[in-house]
Structure 1
């Protein structure tokens, strides 16, 4: 079993294409199924602790993987029961069932009888490519068995989710598994909500598709991959505050939010923090404060080698805020646009972003950081895959879009996307978005690659370290330890 950080994400169609390439290269369907079943059997054997196992098999090749796993477990002395939803329909699945040996039970009905329940349940009913809801009786039987099991393992995907969107196909809540074993590659459903929360821990089973070098930890800007631990630049021996990066935060109606953003930038590694806010604002330590004017902004950044601008936290949405946004974009430095500023963006701004996106210059980059409500206000309603929605938005506006949430998706105008793993639900508190905006401002010049990925990872890591019931100020303070660890 392989951890999934920095690994590629394949849609159902891409997965079929990868399997076809492997077969054209000399592998057989039987070989791929044997590898998948062997990987599942090894995981079950290691985790089940000798307890009896119930393997649920569907009629397709996912069921075939289950028959192979059951056969190998039996050969290793594990007590295994197999229950089939229907007769296998593919030649390889039929052969796998015949080779499995032993009795195959009928699929249990809902509600369950006591004899149906097993301490370890392996769901190999439906995997990649499912597009319709399960029959209610089937879904409720799987639900009951998984809920009653001490250990529940989904083969490739939990039965009843859409591979490409992560949607639950049944009208009622599906069960949460202990572990999901992704076969060959991750799928969108492993990382997108709501299905990601059903998967439990996700680990990868290599079945020989030749994807080993795609999305490795230092290539986390590869198309459609999960975010890996970032690789950040340590200050050189001759470093000074400007060489480490200057983050300028432009405040407005609620200066506390802007102050939180600039404090977060400093704790995430920026060498200099400048806050444009009204006099009397409660200032973070080591941050310089100035009154706003376009001329003051130009003077502050003139001649500085590394400057990132953050605008939006606490900005407000009046005419003065629009003028500040225009000035931030016009200064032609990397700009992070968050919060209120997202609601002020217009097509004229998108035209500027698209023009900049054609320039290979890190000093021209633009980042938008919307949550779901802000995304809808900017780009309209969306349905289907959050990955595809973010990708389309980035192409439309010409900026990198950090579509925040429990399954944050980062999309670039060139179509590359990355997805964060396991966002903490405790991030759902006021001010945490302001913290992320500041971290991204700092990461613009400290990340060897993927500033947005580095910022999202650091933000999530700070939350993980804090555990439950923190506030945004706690999150900002924790960033110092996170940055030190990198």
Structure 2
């Protein structure tokens, strides 16, 4: 799984210009890009009959470099071009390819197909004929590789500008781009590999990687490892699952404040006996690091009152599920009154209730939401985006789709609370939690249920020590 900075199309251009300002020529960048793609294609297919589809821009120039390098290794390479090169550096790359170039129309397929038509920066759809030709070649090939991005994908949003076939591999040149991780594009890329070409890739947007966690020290105790309070409500199971995840996620102590019962308010200290204290009394405990509200809370008047107690507690907060629906009714502006930045974990429907449809990519919408709510916003999905009010953002790569089952969001909320109890930076804590949740899902495998994630968490956390 690739971690590191993610660059938009404009940021990638700026990074290349910075590299050239340091003395690297655009021709050298193209040679490096072509070498990276050629190496990956060689490892994938070895000596193979190869068809490289080249466009008129620098992506096509990369393709000519790939063709020359694979031919030097003994592959039978053919190049089919959409048009003559238009940039000077692409013309130079074409001139170094000393074999014929055939038109794309009518070109026969090959076991290895490399798409170097457009890649990064495309803003309009391919023609219907070209899209079909590309799809025919890719689907009939044994191996297929896209240079930077499959042609037909918008770089910054991951939108499919035209129909795109599924590739076996995509070589991200210089740095990851948003479309390498955002849906729907990410489903069409196959294995994404980074091709290092020596550009300074810096960005406030990054791909999540394995976090580095600390083991308890000799002076640690259950409260120093983080005390989490979960405010339950109408659905005891959801809140209990969140509490279980918090203790499995590394917190030292977790209290579950349950709903009112006929015999009076009930609060369960995790795995211990009943405690008659009210939620307000429990929240007054100065040892509490993080309070959680939402999973199983309910949407009635009692639920709203319990949420208000949590919001007024002065604790660090993690808010999810019903809490988000209740907050949406009054507006997210209230969150600006909190003493610390909360973490919100909405799925798509909750996100729309809180912030509306919005415009732009998922990253742009998450960043806008984080500023509007003065919160770290975890916009969940198969391409989860985490955004902070200061503009930092991250995308979780390859979130297992088997996580689309009841209760897994409650588990994420509990893990997030545990991490926030130990890490006072809410953005870093949320990033840790999302990675741990996804890795636990990967370890649990197909047909997982939410409880399976709890069993996977100790090993997952241990892998980060």
What interval of TM-score do these two structures reach, taking the shorter chain for normalisation? over 0.9
Assess if the C-alpha contact under 8 Å between 1:277 and 1:289 holds in 2.
no
Q: Does 1:203 align with 2:193?
A: yes
Q: Does 1:273 align with 2:270?
A: no
Cα–Cα, structure 1 residues 330 and 183, in superposed 2: closer, same or farther, change >3 Å? same
Structure-2 residue corresponding to 1:143: 135
Structure-1 residue corresponding to 2:434: 456
Report the Cα distance in structure 2 between the residues aligned to 1:291 and 1:381, rounded to whole angstroms. Answer: 43
Cα–Cα, structure 1 residues 86 and 287, in superposed 2: closer, same or farther, change >3 Å? farther
Cα–Cα, structure 1 residues 282 and 71, in superposed 2: closer, same or farther, change >3 Å? farther
Match for residue 71 of structure 2 among 68, 71, 74: 74
Instruction: Write the deviation string for residues 324-383 of structure 1: whole angstroms up to 9, x where unpaired.
Output: 111111111111000011011159774453355xx7xxxx23000001110000000124
Give 3-state SS (helix, strand or coil) of 1:345's partner: helix
Cα–Cα, structure 1 residues 439 and 189, in superposed 2: closer, same or farther, change >3 Å? same
Instruction: Write the deviation string for residues 23-81 of structure 1: whole angstroms up to 9, x where unpaired.
Output: 22222211111111111111112221222111110111000000011011112222111
Between 475-484 and 28-37, the greater mean CA deviation after superposition? 475-484
Cα–Cα, structure 1 residues 287 and 199, in superposed 2: closer, same or farther, change >3 Å? farther
Map of 1:11-410 to 2, 5 A cutoff?
Answer: 11-109=8-106, 116-170=108-162, 172=163, 174-211=164-201, 214=202, 223-278=204-259, 286=271, 290=275, 293-299=278-284, 301-302=285-286, 304=287, 307-346=289-328, 350-356=332-338, 364-410=340-386
* Shift in Å, 1:99: 0.8
Any unmatched runs of 5+ in structure 1?
110-114, 215-221
Give 3-state SS (helix, strand or coil) of 1:202's partner: strand
* Shift in Å, 1:200: 1.2
* Shift in Å, 1:447: 4.6
Report the Cα distance in structure 2 between the residues aligned to 1:477 and 1:309, rounded to whole angstroms. Answer: 23
* Shift in Å, 1:289: 5.2
Assess if the C-alpha contact under 8 Å between 1:53 and 1:81 holds in 2.
yes
TM-score using structure 2 length: 0.94
Give 3-state SS (helix, strand or coil) of 2:124's partner: coil
Report the Cα distance in structure 2 between the residues aligned to 1:466 and 1:347, rounded to whole angstroms. Answer: 36
Report the Cα distance in structure 2 between the residues aligned to 1:287 and 1:119, rounded to whole angstroms. Answer: 63
* Shift in Å, 1:285: 6.7
Any unmatched runs of 5+ in structure 2?
none
Structure-2 residue corresponding to 1:218: none
| Residues paired across the two proteins, number | 458
CA RMSD of aligned residues (A): 2.1
Structure-2 residue corresponding to 1:219: none
Give 3-state SS (helix, strand or coil) of 2:386's partner: strand
Assess if the C-alpha contact under 8 Å between 1:316 and 1:340 holds in 2.
yes
Report the Cα distance in structure 1 between the residues aligned to 2:32 and 2:17, rounded to whole angstroms. Answer: 16
Cα–Cα, structure 1 residues 320 and 352, in superposed 2: closer, same or farther, change >3 Å? same
TM-score using structure 1 length: 0.90
Cα–Cα, structure 1 residues 386 and 340, in superposed 2: closer, same or farther, change >3 Å? same
* Shift in Å, 1:465: 0.5
Assess if the C-alpha contact under 8 Å between 1:273 and 1:287 holds in 2.
no
Give 3-state SS (helix, strand or coil) of 2:434's partner: helix
Between 71-80 and 331-340, the greater mean CA deviation after superposition? 71-80
Give 3-state SS (helix, strand or coil) of 1:445's partner: helix
Report the Cα distance in structure 2 between the residues aligned to 1:277 and 1:292, rounded to whole angstroms. Answer: 11
* Shift in Å, 1:101: 1.2
Cα–Cα, structure 1 residues 76 and 252, in superposed 2: closer, same or farther, change >3 Å? same
